[in-house]
Amino acid sequence: MVQNRNSEAGIAARGGETRRFHIGGQVVAAEKLAPGLYIVATPIGNLGDISLRALAVLAAADVIACEDTRVTHKLAERYGITTPLTPYHDHNADTARPNLLARLADGAAVALVSDAGTPLISDPGYKLVREATAAGNAVTAVPGASSVMAALTIAGLPTDRFFFEGFLPPAAGKRQKRIAELVAIPVTLVLFETGPRIAASLADLAAGLGRRGAAICRELTKLHEEVRRGDLATLAAEASAHETRGEFVIVIAPPADAPAATTEDVDEMLRNALARVSVKDAVGEVAAATGLKRRHVYQRALELSARNQAEWSPVSRPDCAPTQKDK
């Protein structure tokens, strides 16, 4: 908890000015930090999702290393934080990291943040932590928001054990190969995905992992937050009908949690697949998604095809009977 002290000895200062942050209309003085690297979690969308401790650390730090200074500036401005910002991301990490390590060696307090959520989750921060600890610097976690944790808590799927995969490969072949490797992991899976790839990834996940329960979380904590739950095959079939803008977290149940496919489910999945691909591919897709044997799915596909032909045959439909001219 942040405390205001009457003694100026515990209050950080920069250029003779006491460091502060603003919250709820109140001005709070930030206590001086011990030298070291501070890993600070920031909001994943809603700027209100930040702890008092995080604000105090960001205000008292000598510098804030961030992915995008424009993004972090918005957060700092919201809370009246004037700490200098410096970029640290995938593209400049090799040159920026030595500078940050030099500052740590000089006794500075360096705060590391990502654009959203907890640093080191799908960003280059771990290399800075590794080298900072190797140099004997203190590294302190200031925990907070995480899209992985947020998605797990609202997915309605088992949370006792989970595996964080991050982003799947963007290329279809490599993505399908990686999904085939994920089949052997018998715990809840958590993945990130982008809007342009969400439909293709869901289709590959449904085909590769079988009929598992899942939750698709979009724009968590933001104005247009959305969570869709169901089995992977259904979610994949419906993907094109839903909004694809924003950031996605996919939570997938372990194999044992998958619901059994009913005949109606299989028929619906086959109809959807046959509208897109050949009979062979449709059978393979549905067999993989349901766990049913290919020969059983193929037989059902033939029955559906025969039924459809009978329903639309001119002979069986009086209103479609051929005229003399047609003959």
- Residue 93 confidence (pLDDT): 92
Burial class (CB in 10 A: 0-12, 13-18, 19+), 287: buried
Whole-number Å distance between alpha carbons of 25 and 48: 14
Strand 20-23, strand 188-194: pairing: unpaired
User: Whole-angstrom Cα distance, residue 81 to residue 50?
Assistant: 13
Residue of 121, 126, 201, 200 lying closest to 166 (CA atoms): 121
Q: What is the DSSP string of 281-296?
A: HHHHHHHHHH---HHH
What pTM was computed for the model? 0.74
* Tens digit of each residue's pLDDT (9 = 90 or more) over 144-192: 999 999 999 999 999 999 999 999 999 999 999 999 999 989 999 999 9
For residue 11, the 8-state DSSP code is: B
Using one digit for the tens of pLDDT, what is the confidence trace for 268-292? 888 877 777 788 878 877 776 666 7
Per-residue HEC secondary structure of 139-180 comes to EEEECCCCHHHHHHHHHCCCCCCEEEEEECCCCHHHHHHHHH
pLDDT single digits (tens) 4-49: 443 445 677 776 678 999 998 999 999 999 999 999 999 999 999 9
Considering only 41-45, 118-122, 226-230, 307-311, which range has the smallest mean pLDDT? 307-311
Task: Please name the residue that has the structure tokens 């109606």.
Answer: 264
